[in-house]
Structures are given as structure tokens and as C-alpha cells.
Amino acid sequence: MILMFYILLLIAYLYFARRSVDRAIPTEEKQAQQLEHLNRLRSERMVDDFVLTAAAIPALENDIQPQEGFRVYQNYGFFKINGGCLIVASVSAEKMRPLVLDVVRRMGSIVSISFEDFYSDAKNVIDYLSFDRDLYVIESVINRYWRLIQDSHDVQMSVFSPHVKAEVVLPQVKLIHIHAVEPAPFLEVLAEYGLQEKPEMRFFIEGPYYAYNDYANSDLFARLISELEVHEKRFYDKQGMMR
């Protein structure tokens, strides 16, 4: 009797497990819709009046609308900097470069820059650092290689200044992260570009999205690093630092 019960239980488990798998596999019609959606966004890069980068494209089933705005996180976990805050901003792609450059200019005439390359290094632990460079040099490099910086999910850029205790990061998903002890100057820049604080805002990368690197196998990143005259190539365990 007990054996029969376990056999029936096993049959029921296999039946519902199969149904669950069948629901998880998209139908041909669903796959066609996803492909059409993806091809359209990859080509047009537009969701209403918001321009996407090529680095991150929301999936068809993603119900979070891309929008402009920012959130402020006070004393937020790993990003706590001497009582400062983390600002996370979402901006339409056509505004991103001038906004990032204006944020960098608020850090003074001497800044440092870091690039992480997630494509060529299997461990995702590589940093290329260039310390205390003249601002005009950093601006020139950012302008020249902006498409690579903005449109590759495998490249992350950070510009920072220990003098003003601030850092702006353009991570893989191309939200703008600003870490600052004194955030007022950077909030002014965001306001100048029409961005408003939205405490309950959700970013579309919190839902399903596709990541791209249109510059894979190109030598653009190597040329960027060479032009910066990188002072140090550092390896470290990022996960260890986050714990």
C-alpha cells in the first residue's frame, strides 16, 4: 500500500514537473514576438521618448518602463563613503555623455580614471587605472571612445577624485552612479539636465534584459588603454571586497 502511494506520488511529480517545463519553454509564436521586439529595439533604440544604449535592452516580458530620473541612497551599504550617499540616475542615451562630463568637471582639474574589461578577462577582476591626470586629457579620451564606453556591456568606467571624495561610475548597464560626500554639486548637474528625484523609481535593469557588446573582438579597448598611459593593471577579487 505504501509502495503504491509513493508510485502515485512520483507519477504526479513527474506530470507537474513536465507541465512546468513546458510552460517555461516559449512557444514558436512567443519566440517570434521576442525576436521582433529585440530587433526593433536594437535598431530603433527607442521606448517612447527614452533612447536606450546598445549595452542593455529590456526584454519583451519586462514591465518596467525605461524613464529618466534618479534615486538617492543615504549611507547605503558598500557605497557608504564617510556619511555620504549614492545617487543612481537613469538618463536617455543622447544626454549621457554631456551629463557624465559635466559631473566629472565638478571634481576639479585633476582626476583619476579606471576601466574594467569584462570581455577579455574570464575572472572579471581586472582594473586599468590612471591616476591624477589633467581633466582635459580625461575629457579627450572619453569623447574619443564614447561609443565603446556607452554601448558595450563589457566595459565599466569610473572617474574619481580623492580630493573632493567623489566618484562617478558608468557600470555595465549604463546607469550613472555618483558616490559623493557632498552631493549638492552633482544634484545641480542632474537638475540642469531635467532629471528629477523619484524615491520609488524602478530601473528597467531590475527586470529581464539582454546585454550586448558590439565591440567584441575589436582593438578599441586596447587603444583606449594605450592612449591613457595606464599606470597600473591591478587584479583583485571584487566579491571579496563587497563582503
Which pLDDT score is estimated for 211? 87
- In angstroms, what CA-CA distances link 141 with 21, 42, 61, 146? 49, 26, 37, 8
| Best mean pLDDT range from 15-19, 41-45, 192-196, 224-228 | 192-196
- pTM summary value: 0.80
| Mean of pLDDT values over 215-238 | 72
* Digit-coded pLDDT (tens) for 99-139: 999 999 999 999 999 888 877 655 555 578 888 899 999 99
Instruction: Note the pLDDT of residue 178.
Output: 94
Rounded distance, CA 101 to CA 144, Å? 13
Yes or no: say if 182 and 164 are a contact pair by the CB < 8 Å rule: yes
Percent of the chain surpassing pLDDT 70: 76
* Helix pair 220-228, 135-144: axis angle to 10 deg: 170
Per-residue pLDDT reduced to its tens digit, 50-108: 999 989 989 888 899 999 999 998 865 544 545 688 999 999 999 999 999 999 999 99
**Average pLDDT over all residues of the chain:** 81
Give me the pLDDT at residue 16, please: 46
pLDDT-derived band at 171 (thresholds 50, 70, 90) equals: very high
Banded pLDDT at 3 (limits 50, 70, 90): low
What residue spans define the domains of the chain?
A: 2-44, 69-242
Q: What distance in Å separates the CA atoms of residue 125 and residue 173, rounded to the nearest whole number?
A: 17
Query: Which helix (H) or strand (E) segment is 222 a member of?
Result: helix 220-228
* pLDDT of 233 over the 70 cut: no
* Among 105, 88, 117, CA closest to 161: 105
Residue 164: predicted pLDDT: 86
Cα gap 211→232, rounded to integer Å: 28
Residue 240 has pLDDT above 70, yes or no: no
- CA dist 169 and 115 (Å) reads 10
pLDDT band at 12 (very low <50, low <70, confident <90, very high): low
Average pLDDT over residues 209-237: 75
Q: How confident is the model at residue 21 (pLDDT cuts 50, 70, 90)?
A: very low
Most confident range (mean pLDDT) of 41-45, 100-104, 118-122, 229-233 is 100-104
**pLDDT, tens digit, 9 for 90 and up, residues 154-169:** 899 999 998 888 999 9
The pLDDT value given to residue 181: 86
